[in-house]
Amino acid sequence: MTAIAVTIAGSDSGGGAGIQADLKTFSALGVYGASILTALTAQNTLGVTAVHDVPGDFITAQIDAVFSDLAVNAVKIGMLSQRSTIEIVTSGLAAHDTGPVVLDPVMVAASGDPLIAEEAVAKLTELLIPKVDLITPNLHEAARLLQTDVAGHKHDMETQARRLIDLGARAVLLKGGHGEGATSDDFLLTKDGGRWFSAPRHDTRNTHGTGCTLSSAIAAGLAKGLPLAAAVGAAKDYVSAAIAAADNLAIGSGHGPVHHFHAVWSKS
């Protein structure tokens, strides 16, 4: 049986993040990828210059088309920029058999450009976070969801992960990639307890799409039947290798993408 994962997210015209990064990740990890577009961005390695939200009825049509035909094993959700989009996606997923759902609460692009309306943040917390299987905020996204300061230490990350569970999240992977130190440390918290995942921190500016790639890699693992912790561990390894190989690419003049196909292209 072919493992199938669906990404529900925005498009990155520069190809490094969003739907494009998700589909590359699925393919690199041996999973068939389908997509549901929620927004179009005019974007490159230097930043986002425009965002066009997909009309709600067309998002619904995409959801119904994909899930009525494909035997979906897992879902990754990324950019949901408007309150109405969050409501539509929540309702659409409730109407179908989705398998495990991973939510990457995308709020700001790597360039610093905002990707979600302020009024949509509360709706994300209220409607969607309690219904998905895993959320994967970075340090800044967690702070915004909790309306608090950015975690500065591992103890703070553990505390914020517990607070996100209290908000209704079933499981949280709080990502420490924006922190400091020799390692990039992520904290996974579930009802069974917490676990740290660490990888060496690589000195590169080419990290565009890292969060999209990690959440998609987790969804790919879940689509193939891995338990959550194993899917997170495999995804962490994949993303770390993609970052380490990022400088082998020469894409744009800003923050370039990670190398999604590092294991394939290096052999060709």
pLDDT of residue 189: 98
List pLDDT tens digits, range 70-96.
999 999 999 998 899 999 999 999 999
Band (pLDDT 50/70/90 cuts) for residue 242 is very high
Nearest to 59 by CA among 30, 27, 91, 19: 91
Look up 212 and say whether it is catalytic. yes
Reply yes or no on whether the pLDDT at 118 is more than 90: no
Report how far residue 249's alpha carbon sits from residue 192's, in angstroms, rounded to the nearest whole number.
40
Task: For 162-205, give the secondary structure using H, E and C.
Answer: HHHHHCCCCCEEEECCCCCCCEEEEEEEECCEEEEEEEECCCCC
Global pTM reads 0.94
User: Residues 78, 212: contact at Cβ < 8 Å?
Assistant: yes
DSSP 8-state symbol, 112: S
pLDDT of residue 161: 97
User: Residues 4, 96: contact at Cβ < 8 Å?
Assistant: no
pLDDT of residue 121: 83
Annotated catalytic residue within 33, 207, 221, 256: 207
Annotated catalytic residue within 10, 15, 209, 233: 209
29-47 mean pLDDT: 96
Range name among 71-75, 128-132, 180-184, 252-256 with the lowest pLDDT average: 180-184
Band (pLDDT 50/70/90 cuts) for residue 111 is low
Q: How far apart are the first and last CA of the chain?
A: 28
Look up 236 and say whether it is catalytic. no
List pLDDT tens digits, range 126-145.
999 999 999 999 998 999 89
Look up 213 and say whether it is catalytic. no
Band (pLDDT 50/70/90 cuts) for residue 115 is low
Reply yes or no on whether the pLDDT at 117 is more than 80: no
Residue 37, both tokens:
């577009």
Residue 195: Cβ within 10 Å count: 14
pLDDT of residue 116: 72
Annotated catalytic residue within 212, 213, 221, 256: 212
User: Residues 172, 161: contact at Cβ < 8 Å?
Assistant: yes
pLDDT of residue 267: 59
Annotated catalytic residue within 25, 45, 98, 210: 210
Annotated catalytic residue within 211, 221, 233, 256: 211
User: Residues 3, 69: contact at Cβ < 8 Å?
Assistant: no
Look up 99 and say whether it is catalytic. no
Reply yes or no on whether the pLDDT at 178 is more than 70: no
pLDDT of residue 246: 94
pLDDT of residue 219: 98
Residue 251: Cβ within 10 Å count: 17
DSSP 8-state symbol, 258: P
Range name among 108-112, 241-245, 257-261 with the lowest pLDDT average: 108-112
200-204 mean pLDDT: 88
Nearest to 230 by CA among 215, 212, 218, 216: 218
To the nearest whole number, what is the mean pLDDT of the chain?
A: 92
183-195 mean pLDDT: 94
Domains and CATH numbers, the chain: 4-131+206-260 (3.40.1190.20)
Report how far residue 13's alpha carbon sits from residue 181's, in angstroms, rounded to the nearest whole number.
32
Residues 6+ apart with CB under 8 A from 238: 25, 28, 29, 213, 217
Look up 25 and say whether it is catalytic. no
107-125 mean pLDDT: 73
pLDDT of residue 112: 57
3-19 mean pLDDT: 97
User: Residues 59, 30: contact at Cβ < 8 Å?
Assistant: no
Look up 207 and say whether it is catalytic. yes
Report how far residue 98's alpha carbon sits from residue 143's, in angstroms, rounded to the nearest whole number.
29
